[in-house]
Structure 1
Amino acid sequence: MNDTTVTVVGNVVDSPRRVSLENGAVTNFRMASTARRYDSATQQYVDSGTLWVDVECWGSLSGNVAASISKGDPVIVQGALTTHSWESESGPRSKPRIRAFAVGPNLSRGTADFKRDRSGRTAENVDRTTGEITPQAGEPQDDPFTSASAEPRPGRDYDGDGAALEGMDAAESSLVPAHA
């Protein structure tokens, strides 16, 4: 398959809409990405054209986007670029659409509080106002990722002699080359 894969950095311009269909749930939103360039004549940055694109999210991404993304949020979207075509009263129409593989906050514009989607939990279990996860029936009540009683696990938690955790003072850091 020869998908045209793109990564678009921009802002969400409308509230994400989630719809349940026969073949699964989909969340759609529109985003805008405005290019900036440096104008040497005016010695300042100026906005160029704006790309307006619809984004569709399927599967677990659908629920996670619906629970996490809001109008105005700066996002980075990666996915397959397609063209949505339809027939209108004035003739054939089309517009770009991205079938998203990944959607995330643009951390150059702010911070995020990431909550891992854990085995079988979906965004339907997340309270949008508090961000708290409500366990489904039969799920354990303690969270092995944050529980203080959980034993360290190789590859997940640091388990060593502690020597690697020693600090560095400013004098030592000046001896480390910036680029190797």
Structure 2
Amino acid sequence: MFETPLTVVGHIVNNPERRQVGTQEVIKFRVASNSRRRTADGGWEPGNSLFINVNCWGKLVTGVGAALGKGAPVIVVGHVYTSEYEDRDGNRRSSLEMRATSVGPDVSRAIVRIEKPGYTGPNPEQAAINGTSVAAADVGGDEDLKAGDDPADSGDGAADRVSLSVPA
């Protein structure tokens, strides 16, 4: 079967809902992606919008549930499909759905602090050049990553933590 990959950049528009489906958990939320375009006078006007239902399974359930909520700016990668169903009145309906393979905060729209075993945060000299605070980002982990280490997997089976703050 062919799957349609898609990356969506937007905001979560509802509180993520965590459910049990058989022996697995799923967390579901809706993302709005709104485009803008330049006008002839150099200003901006709203463009098209995309609303998509996102389903997260496996390790994503824990990460999304712990770190993201309504209003969070996100980047979601996954495969899209049309879900067809019958509503309460017996009418056939369909909705655009995405089974996420990756979900993360959009760091162009939020300040993110990663808490991960083995991750020590940004280099203090580079942080000073960029004007960022190392103290806020340095969350521990005395071990250096070595060649061949997977920085996305701490190996302990536990989810890494992400703190998200959105500038006003």
What is aligned with 1:11?
Answer: 11
What is aligned with 2:75?
Answer: 76
Name stretches of at least 5 consecutive residues in structure 1 with no aligned partner.
Answer: 119-144, 157-180
Aligned pairs for 1:165-176 (under 5 A) are none
Mapped to 2, the partners of 1:117 and 1:49 lie a distance apart of 41
Mapped to 2, the partners of 1:110 and 1:32 lie a distance apart of 16
2:115 alignment partner, SS class: coil
What is aligned with 2:140?
Answer: 146
Name stretches of at least 5 consecutive residues in structure 2 with no aligned partner.
Answer: 119-138, 150-168
1:67 alignment partner, SS class: helix
Offset of 1:33 from its aligned partner? 0.5
Aligned pairs for 1:127-146 (under 5 A) are 146=140
Q: Compare CA radii of gyration and give the structure with the larger one.
A: 1
Mapped to 1, the partners of 2:79 and 2:117 lie a distance apart of 23
Mapped to 2, the partners of 1:23 and 1:100 lie a distance apart of 19
Q: Report the TM-score, using the length of structure 2 for normalisation.
A: 0.68
What is aligned with 2:29?
Answer: 29
What is aligned with 1:56?
Answer: 55
Q: Report the TM-score, using the length of structure 1 for normalisation.
A: 0.64
2:45 alignment partner, SS class: strand
Runs of 4 or more, structure 1, over 2 Å off, are 115-118, 145-148, 152-156
Higher strand share: 2
What is aligned with 2:46?
Answer: 47
2:61 alignment partner, SS class: helix
Mapped to 1, the partners of 2:51 and 2:141 lie a distance apart of 43
The answer to whether the 8 Å contact 2:117/2:140 transfers is no
Offset of 1:108 from its aligned partner? 0.5
Offset of 1:111 from its aligned partner? 1.3
